[in-house]
Amino acid sequence: MTSRRETELAARTRVVLDAAAGHVFGTEPGRLAAELYDVLVRTTDDAGRARVAAALARCWAYGGHADRAASFADEALAHAEQAGDPELIAECLDAVLAAHWGPDELMLREVTAALLDEVSAHVLDPEARLRGHLWSLQVGWETLRVPVIQRQLRALELLAAESPRARFFAASRRWMYDHVRGVDASELIEVAEGAATEAGLADAWMVTGSMRGYTALHAGEVEAVAEVAELMERFARSEGVVEVASEAASIWALLGHHDRARVLLEQLGPEVLESLPRDVNYLLNLHCVLEAALAVGDEQIVGTAARLLTPYENRAVLNAGAVYFHGVTDDSLARAAAFTGDHARADQLRARALATYRRLDATWWQNRLQSASDPTTPASTETVVHFRPVGDGLWLIGSEARPLRALRGFEYLHRLLAQPGRAVSAIDLVTDGTATVIQPDTGPQLDRQAATAYRQRLSDLAAELAEAADWGDLARVESLTAEREALLAELTSAVGLAGRPRATGSTAERARVAATKAIATAIARIESLDPPLATHLRDAIRTGTTCSYRPRPSDHLIWQLSG
């Protein structure tokens, strides 16, 4: 028989969990954290402790205190696993991810998000499946994997029919992807707003406000953007939210209101930057402050922000849970390097950032970076690049025509560069067009039973990696990661388009492997001499059963292919 004390505790638990569900992301939790903790210490069953500990972990993580959140998230997951409820395990994995959202924990997020995706895929609760898709999407953006982004967006759209909450996330995250590619997605803002109202989402107004603001920014609607920046600045001051202040500073700078940007930068100086917690907003804060400081010419802040951001080169900068894409760190770091006179480093970072933007089809960011040329160097519309053999086993390669020892891959690249846009079969490439006997394949490279065993081991590895990371066992993490990468490489090499088994032994397959390896080796050698050229070739060269060179219209390169 249930006692009065148990009944009262159950009622209070429901109240505080409902309150936690309404906590606005980015704001201090206030009394809520204490209320949750008081309920937690009074709760004895595993399921109850898991739910409350997970809510407390999210409470601290959303309030900017990830250091306090981690232990509660770990406790929540341990109790959920003890209870054995998959939906509860999914909820607690979400809390673990929220508590480990810093820039230095990306590997842990990849492993945990994969585990959450696996758990949530087999439960009926749409909220659990929503969490799985959102975290997989977040990691897809963080690692800049376009197929993962596309797949998770489609999964969210399928889930949108089951709840208004899922519809809000499907619309807002689809908007971001379309916005990045320059696709008009303004109708999705109204869909998101309607779904948020129906679902009663407490902080959705921040997301939809951001959607409207950045739509206006890219459309050149200055007054509308200024209104959004004003609201952000007001919110930042009232709540003391650094990330909103830094974002407002970058928007004022983009609008050319350098006086407004300077006022905010006075509150975000070197001392503040040095003390920033390495949490979900760390890259966003540094990137936005660096953007604003570059615009107003603040040398001290540029130097501090660039130094702190440098360990995170080649990373996406996102606002919270893939709400908005602010570009890549290489972009702002390239402009910072040019600002301080390190033009060689600026060129290298700019080339890599532009390659990333082209891969994402992020035209606005690409155009902005291309137009932000070094003011001390006259702009050049065309660049002569040497790529030619000169005898004695040497090739002259790059804009400075430096010598490199011959590689077979240089010959393949030379043929492709000579006929841009044209597909050349890998067989013709490796045989130089001479006649060859075409042999059939000898069956699948990896049979179904072996592939299933590989995938099961990958699933087991995800759990073992999470455990090793939790225990801080770095040696085991390294060993398990190496095994995971080897298995993934084996699976990848064994499947072709759409996951179909790749046959082995055929002439076409041997030619594909030979051409791909030779070209990859050649580009790696070029990278030691001319990193921007290597980046361009990786972006523009396509390999497979057919190979081609497909530069962008904006790639103004004149190839010097002969003496």
Top mean pLDDT of 159-163, 165-169, 202-206, 216-220 is at 165-169
CATH 1.20.140.10 fits 4-160, yes or no: no
pLDDT value of residue 506:
60
- pLDDT exceeding 90 applies to what percent of the chain? 41
Q: Is the pLDDT of residue 389 over 90?
A: yes
CATH code, residues 222-371: 1.25.40
Parse the chain into domains and list their residue ranges: 4-160, 222-371, 383-441+506-560, 449-499
pLDDT value of residue 385:
92
In which element (H, E) is residue 404 found? Answer: strand 402-405
Residue pair 156/173 in contact (Cβ under 8 Å)? The answer is yes
Q: How high is the mean pLDDT of the chain?
A: 84
95-107, pLDDT tens digit by residue? Answer: 999 999 899 999 9
55-84, pLDDT tens digit by residue? Answer: 999 888 888 788 899 899 999 999 999 999
491-526, pLDDT tens digit by residue? Answer: 555 544 334 444 445 667 788 888 989 999 999 999
Beta-bridge partner residues of 318: 325
Residue pair 260/48 in contact (Cβ under 8 Å)? The answer is no
In this prediction, residue 370 has a pLDDT band, given cuts at 50, 70 and 90, of confident
- pLDDT exceeding 70 applies to what percent of the chain? 86
Query: 521: which residues sit within 8 A by CB, 6+ positions away?
Result: 407, 409
Separation of alpha carbons 360 and 111, rounded Å: 24
Within this chain, domains 4-160 and 222-371 share the same CATH topology: yes
Strands 324-328 and 394-398: unpaired
Separation of alpha carbons 279 and 262, rounded Å: 25
pLDDT value of residue 299:
92
pLDDT value of residue 316:
95
Query: 264: which residues sit within 8 A by CB, 6+ positions away?
Result: 233, 236, 245, 246, 248, 249, 252, 292
32: Cα separation from own chain's centroid: 32
Separation of alpha carbons 387 and 294, rounded Å: 36
3-state DSSP assignment of residue 316: strand
Separation of alpha carbons 121 and 452, rounded Å: 18
271-316, pLDDT tens digit by residue? Answer: 999 999 898 889 999 999 999 999 999 999 999 999 999 999 999 9
Query: 31: which residues sit within 8 A by CB, 6+ positions away?
Result: none
Rounded to 10 degrees, what is the CA torsion of 508, 514, 517, 521? -150
Per the model's pLDDT, the better-predicted residue between 112 and 24 turns out to be 112
Q: Is the pLDDT of residue 171 over 90?
A: yes
User: What is the CATH topology of the domain spanning 383-441+506-560?
Assistant: Arc Repressor Mutant, subunit A (1.10.10)
pLDDT value of residue 450:
61
In which element (H, E) is residue 151 found? Answer: helix 146-159
Residue pair 141/325 in contact (Cβ under 8 Å)? The answer is yes
